[in-house]
């Protein structure tokens, strides 16, 4: 019923909503998807007609519950695929994103169920992103915060890293900064550079602010159900 393209828009809007909160602007969507603003205007018009989002002209856009459900379905496909490729087909951590993007629109409900079963109904993908549950209720990340919201001396456990840029992923993977890793912030330079110490291997790692902003962390003590992460 919905085209692949529409699903991509809904996924993008969902992601942007999480990052910056609604309303999401035309140009942000255009930027994110690599389309021109008029294209986005035309597409959100169609999505509005289908009741998948609410739009206020010249303001921006917000997903309806129905639109959010579709976005979560696609996201569930994406993250299950990432987990499966890593776990069962020997993909490295940074290779899975594009493959999952290509496949996420074309797998059946049956396939989704079987992949989830083969993985043991996982709750996070290899990057630490939460996999929406089969009933498509919105996952809650309120127990995590951005690395950049913390200060020197704070001891934290990495919860998620962004999966947008493969090079960045490669770098973080090399550095040992992966979901589950305990780190300590050793320095914050005024020009936007965060230095952390990886507790396991005692190595120091400097991260540009743009990267640090995409890393989600949680306090080290309280146990959490995000541990069954498999490295690349």
Partner DNA sequence: ACCCCGGATTAGACGTGTCTAAACCAAATA
Partner DNA sequence: TATTTGGTTTAGACACGTCTAATCCGGGGT
Angle between helices 65-88 and 96-103 (to 10 degrees): 130
Nearer to a copy of itself, 110 or 174 (CB): 110
* Chain-centroid distance, C-alpha 210: 15
User: Would you count residue 82 as binding a copy of itself (CB under 8 A)?
Assistant: no
**How many binding residues for a copy of itself (CB under 8 A)?**
18
Strand partners, 194: 188, 207
d(CA 52, CA 68): 8
- Closest alpha carbon to 101 in 161, 39, 164, 46: 164
State the Cα–Cα distance between residues 174 and 169, nearest whole angstrom. 8
Q: Rule CB under 7 A: choose which of 18, 19, 20, 27 binds DNA.
A: 27
Q: Does 45 bind DNA (CB under 7 A)?
A: yes
Distance in angstroms (rounded) separating the CA atoms of residues 93 and 104: 17
Residue window 97-126: x/- pattern of binding to a copy of itself, with contact defined by CB under 8 A? -xx--xx--xxx-xx--xx--x--------
Burial 77-109 (b: 16+ CB within 10 A, else e): bbbbbbbbbbbeeebebbbbbeebbeebbeeee
Q: Based on the shown chain and the rule CB under 7 A, indicate whether residue 51 belongs to the binding site for DNA.
A: no
Q: Which stretch binds DNA (CB under 7 A): 34-42, 87-95, 134-142, 152-160?
A: 34-42
Binding DNA (rule: CB under 7 A), the pick from 15, 22, 41, 139 is: 41
CB of 59 vs DNA, minimal distance in Å: 7
Count the neighbouring beta carbons within 10 Å of the beta carbon of residue 116: 18
Q: Which partner, DNA, a copy of itself, none, binds residue 197 by CB below 5 to 8 Å per kind?
A: none
| 163 touches 104 (CB < 8 A) | no
Q: Which partner in DNA, a copy of itself, none is near 22 (CB below 5 to 8 A by kind)? A: none
User: Which of 20, 46, 59, 88 is close enough to bind a copy of itself by CB under 8 A?
Assistant: 88
Q: Name the residues that contact DNA, by CB under 7 A.
A: 3, 5-6, 25-27, 30, 34-46, 55, 57-58, 60
Binding site for a copy of itself (CB under 8 A): 85, 88-91, 95, 98-99, 102-103, 106-108, 110-111, 114-115, 118
């Amino acid at each position: 019923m919905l085209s692949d393209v529409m699903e991509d828009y809904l996924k993008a809007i969902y992601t942007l909503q999480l990052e910056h909160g609604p309303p999401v602007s035309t140009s942000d969507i255009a930027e994110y998807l690599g389309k021109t603003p008029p294209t986005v205007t035309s597409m959100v018009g169609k999505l509005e007609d289908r009741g998948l989002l609410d739009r206020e002209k010249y303001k921006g856009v917000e997903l309806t519950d129905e639109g959010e459900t579709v976005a979560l379905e696609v996201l569930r496909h994406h993250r299950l695929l990432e987990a499966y490729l890593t776990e069962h087909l020997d993909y490295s951590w940074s290779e899975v994103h594009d493959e999952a993007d290509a496949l996420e629109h074309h797998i059946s409900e049956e396939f989704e169920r079987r992949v989830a079963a083969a993985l043991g109904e996982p709750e996070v993908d290899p990057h630490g992103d939460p996999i929406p549950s089969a009933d498509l209720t919105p996952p809650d990340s309120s127990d995590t915060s951005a690395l950049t919201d913390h200060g020197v001396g704070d001891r934290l456990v990495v919860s998620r890293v962004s999966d947008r840029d493969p090079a960045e992923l490669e770098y973080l993977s090399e550095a040992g900064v992966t979901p589950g890793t305990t780190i300590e912030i050793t320095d914050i330079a005024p020009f936007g550079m965060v230095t952390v110490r990886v507790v396991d291997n005692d190595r120091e790692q400097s991260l540009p602010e743009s990267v640090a902003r995409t890393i989600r962390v949680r306090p080290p003590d309280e146990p959490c159900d995000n541990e069954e992460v498999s490295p690349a």
